[in-house]
Structure 1
Amino acid sequence: MSESVTRTHSWVPPTPPAEVAHLSGEEFLRAIVEGRIAPPPIAGTLGFELTDVKPGSAVFEGQTGEHLYNPLGTVHGGYLATLLDSALGCAVMSLLPAGIGYTTVQLNVNMVRAVHAGVGLLRCEAQTVHVGRTIGTAEARVVGLETGKLYAHATTTCAIFPLKSG
């Protein structure tokens, strides 16, 4: 058995929803990109970040590493699914007005090649397909920035609903 390796990270507690309820989805996400609002703790835990947001789109970038390996020595599919789910949901959120929230109700992920620690930075770009009053859909792709290769793609369906006040 090999010597153990340690990885530590820190995070800022998430912003309470009541403090940002007056912001539209795009305004909220832009504040994260600009560093005015702390990113969600999952981003630090898994090593990815929201790097760009526009109406109907969101871009995340994530660094791979051995700490993400499954028993077969490749990056666990759950990492890719979480990266995709984050970008897809934020693309939908970018079109929502203040006081409206969303949640993923369906996530379809297709992994097309193995990801290893040496792949480097991954870029996940998501675009909305449809955002209505109660349902939003989006699609996304994960590509290696250094290789240009497609590693995974996905679609989502999100439920859209008014946020509870207070």
Structure 2
Amino acid sequence: MGEGRFPELSDVSEHIGQSVTSARPGRVEMTWTPGEHLCNPAGGVHGGYIAMILDNAVCFASASTGDHFVPQLTLNLNIDYLRGVQAGQTYTVVSTCVHPGRTRLYSTAAITDAQGRVIAQASGSTIPNQAFAR
């Protein structure tokens, strides 16, 4: 990822509407277009899906710091929900690895709308999933 090459994304990425648009060591950018199937009964995108995209972003930023892609395990994720997310709109998600430690990495992520307003933001710690380490 740190060289701009992306690992194959799972069906989950398609289901939630995320797409990695760029990556460099320590920074990953995505677009996110949530569908109606992610909405709660009130009509907005469910907070759990907002948490999921932020978790993915934090993990991708951490993973982008390695020599090769190693999936990350989330140790903690802190989220601030600031505005509602609407289905069918495209959002930008930017994540940065703030501390690329050998055993514990710390990253931040933010979702912004088309007007550049922050919708939600997160910080989280991850560790490399040793089951995938080479």
Measured against the shorter chain, the TM-score band is 0.7 to 0.9
Structure 1 counterpart of 2:59, from 89, 102, 117: 89
Which sections of structure 2, spanning at least 5 residues, go unmatched? none
Structure 1 position 95, deviation (Å): 0.7
Which sections of structure 1, spanning at least 5 residues, go unmatched? 1-24
Say which SS state the counterpart of residue 31 (structure 1) adopts: coil
- For 1:17-56, list aligned pairs within 5 A: 26-27=2-3, 30-32=4-6, 38-56=8-26
Q: Quick one: which amino acid aligns to residue 156 of structure 1?
A: G
Regions of 4+ moved over 4 Å: 161-166
1:54-102 deviation digits (Å, cap 9, x = unpaired): 1101111111332211112111111111111111111110111348553
Structure 2 counterpart of 1:132, from 101, 107, 111: 101
Give TM-score scaled by structure 2 length. Answer: 0.87
- For 1:6-155, list aligned pairs within 5 A: 26-27=2-3, 30-32=4-6, 38-98=8-68, 101-117=71-87, 120-144=89-113, 146-155=114-123
Q: How many residues align?
A: 134
Looking at structure 1, the residues matched to 126 and 68 of structure 2 have their Cα atoms a distance apart, in angstroms, of 17
1:19-53 deviation digits (Å, cap 9, x = unpaired): xxxxxx525xx332xxxx53222111111111110
Give TM-score scaled by structure 1 length. Answer: 0.72
Structure 2 counterpart of 1:157, from 115, 125, 133: 125
Q: Quick one: which amino acid aligns to residue 135 of structure 1?
A: R
1:112-154 deviation digits (Å, cap 9, x = unpaired): 0111226x2111100111011110000111001x222211000
Larger fraction in helix: 1
